[in-house]
Structure 1
Amino acid sequence: MGLYRSVRAVTGASGDGPIDWNAVAKAAKASVDPGNLDVSAAEQQAYANDARDARDRVRAVTSLDFDLPERVEIQNRHHWLDANIATFERVMTPLEQQTQKAPGVAQMTNTGSMAFSLRFLSSHVLGQYDPLLLADNDAHALYFVRPNIKHVAEVLDVSYPRFRRWIAFHEITHAAEFGGAPWLSAHLETNMQETIEKLSSGNLDRSTLGQLDTTMTAVEGYAELIMDRAFDEEYDDMRRKLEQRRDGQGPVEQLIRRVLGLSVKRRQYERGKNFFETVVELRDIETASRVWESPERLPTDTELDDPRAWLSRIN
């Protein structure tokens, strides 16, 4: 029945844009179970404690000046879809404004593809730091997708409270980056808008995508570096089990991950972490944190593989 409603939503796509975002929301929600959000007061407090403890530990490790986001939410999968569909719609608006109305079949294809992608992600995202790109205000948000956290903890056979705390620490490292570098949101927005503008004109080049990839590699790599030093217990077992689960997924799911760029994100983690680990070995964490002083302090694509060159430049 859910699949039927999902197909009905896609085939009923309408409006003037190449994507019917209302239909995206209906189709994605119809095809995914929202999950249990029956959270006790004690569990709500545990999430809040994890976030605050992570903030304090990351502050101590990095000396970055930041605080928790204005919004910290425990969500189900449908809540996550609502938040991210809104972001995707904001980000895609410039492209839609420059694109002529898509024929019916093309609009259905675009709408169906977006619904499928977001539906897949809503079943796999554990936590998300959301800088609310292109929003009308400067508010940031932090989401915990409780049904996914509970499910993965059970599949990996690890303690739910311990796994939940690990997710909190990882996402708070991103809060530290964006809080300690107020320019970072605007920098990402500019990169994304340039990418979308060039895409709409059919003139997308490697340098535009490369700048966005370089920034995200720094974001993900630094988060991994700080996570290793801030989390208050050993967690190699959780990371190993999570990576084994991803590697052991079937060919269809692995294909979907590649199409959605999730394999790229993993490469960003590894490449970025190697860069920052080398910087810390050669200098210290304070030097590594200088990457957030200004956009000019970000490593170039070449410097990501040559940390000594970055160190020479910033000094």
Structure 2
Amino acid sequence: MESYQRHPAPPPAAELVNWDLAAGTAATLVSAGPKMSGREIREAVAELRFLADEAVTHVHRITGLEAARDLRDSEVLIVDRASWAKSNSRSFAVLMNPAIENLARTHAEELKNANTAISGTVTGAQLGAVLAFLSSKVLGQYDPFSAKTPGGPAGGRLLLVAPNIIALERELNVVPADFRLWVCLHEQTHRVQFAAAPWLREHMIEQIGLLTNGLMDKAQTVSERLAQAAKSLASPAGREALGSRNDDGGGTPKRPLDVMSLLQDPEDKERMSHLTAVMSLLEGHANVVMDAVDASVVPSVKTIRQRFNARGRSHGWLDRFFRQILGMDAKMRQYKDGSKFVRAVVDSAGMQGFNRVWEGPENLPTEAEIHNPSLWTTRMGL
């Protein structure tokens, strides 16, 4: 597998998270993946790199985005699970350290009295365990925030996690080359999105920073908010939410109870809503591109889609539990909601009309518009 150049993570103002420990813990806990010979690994890496390049041509044809013509400011790496986890620990540091530094300025006395080194060790170990779990699930990821890491590429980094792609293509019993190209189409679309909207990276960093700062600034009132949340859950409405069941009698909650929303103030909820809408847009758009290819591009695409979608409904209870806790189920809903939005806009305004979304942050859809695309097309004058 390939690797990226390693640099020490930027030192946080307070040792609230031990990023090095997070990366090391993930690397220790994660399994290597399917057994392969050295030759098989080299051949898989070469083919994934070739198909990743080929996918860009199809993304350009489907989306009409001229940014797909030249993606030299970002890079593509074929990595193992441990390298994916280490890369993400560094990106988390980029996103979190500004909030940590702000917390150090605004709550210096509290941090001075607290044993932040121990707290950072515990948090780092916990984050490492989460990264280890995720590193065996993620097929690929475009990481725009790696551009902010020391020595990172100017335009970000696309990581294709070879062990996971190979493990899943074997599980689904699909044609390897077809499945690999299908995955690359989705991931390269993300790369093209950020190339088409060079302002998007800074916009997301700013929004994530505002949300994180807001939550950290209210850390002193967490116990009070938890008490309020408990009171809400004890109310008739709260009991109804907990006891609601699907009409199919499956015994599962009608909707997940979002306890975090009870701990956020209106500004936090507004920022979270905005980020949810952006992520739904990005994931849905990539899914639409992924599904726009036919058998002339991916001969077995129909079989791949059927088996991939069926697999999504067959996770074991423990895997489903972790997916809900880590927000992976929410990510799947983002695929679905965002895909509906993109298809509806393209159907009514064409791909050129939809591509206005990349012109500036003011053109990004709201969460309400994601669920009612006509609101966005009307606002855009399409």
Moved more, 29-38 or 248-257: 29-38
**Which shows bigger deviation, 38-47 or 262-271?**
38-47
Mapping of residues 83-232 of structure 1, within 5 Å: 83-97=87-101, 98=103, 100=111, 103=115, 106-132=119-145, 134-135=148-149, 138-202=154-218, 205-230=268-293, 232=297
CA displacement, residues 128-176 of structure 1 (integer Å, 9 cap, x when unaligned): 1111254366331111111111111111111222111111111111112
Aligned equivalent of 1:21:
19
Q: Kindly tell me: are residues 73 and 108 of structure 1, through their superposed partners in 2, closer, same or farther at Cα, counting changes over 3 Å?
A: same
Please identify, of 156-165 and 66-75, the stretch whose mean Cα deviation from structure 2 is larger.
66-75
Tell me the distance in 2 between the aligned counterparts of 1:44 and 1:251.
33
Per the alignment, do residues 41 and 106 of structure 1 end up closer, same or farther by CA in structure 2, a change over 3 Å counting?
A: closer
Note the C-alpha offset of 1:123.
0.7
Rounded to whole Å, the distance in 1 between the matches of 2:76 and 2:43 is: 16
SS in 1 for 2:315: coil
Q: In the alignment, which residue of structure 2 is the partner of 1:246? A: 312
What amino acid maps onto 1:207 in structure 2?
A: E
Size of the aligned set, in residue pairs, is 301
Partner-residue secondary structure (3-state), 1:129: strand
Q: 1:254 to 1:105 in 2, by over 3 A?
A: farther
CA distance in 2, matches of 1:40, 1:256: 30
The letter of the residue matching 1:116 is A
Separation in structure 1 between the aligned mates of residue 27 and residue 62 of structure 2, nearest angstrom: 40
2:355 is aligned with 1:289 = yes
Q: d(CA) in 1 for partners of 2:37 and 2:161? A: 9
Aligned position for 2:65: 64
User: Structure 2: 5+ residue runs without aligned partners?
Assistant: 1-12, 105-110, 219-263
- Inter-CA distance 193–168: structure 2 relative to 1 (3 Å threshold): same
Equivalence for 1:51: 52
Take 1:306 and 1:135, find their aligned partners in 2: how far apart are those partners? 37
Name stretches of at least 5 consecutive residues in structure 1 with no aligned partner. Answer: 1-14
Q: Tell me by how many angstroms 1:127 deviates.
A: 1.0
- 2:149 is aligned with what amino acid? A
How far 1:182 moved relative to its partner? Answer: 0.9
Distance 1:119 1:43 in 2: 22
Structure 2 Cα separation of the partners of residues 228 and 250 of structure 1: 26
Q: Which amino acid aligns with 1:268?
A: Q
Cα separation, 1, equivalents of 2:23 and 2:42:
30
Q: Give the CA deviation at 1:177.
A: 0.8
Contact 1:271–1:304 (CA under 8 A) maintained in structure 2: yes
Match of 2:89, SS?
helix
**Equivalent residues of 1:149, 1:164 under 8 A apart:** yes
Q: Percent identity?
A: 30
| CA shift digits 1:188-228 (9 cap, x unpaired) | 11111111111110165200111111111111111112222
Contact 1:29 1:81 in 2 (8 A): yes
Q: Look up the SS of the partner of 1:247 in the other structure.
A: coil
Q: Deviations over 1:21-67 (max 9, x none)?
A: 22212221111123458356654442233122211111122221223
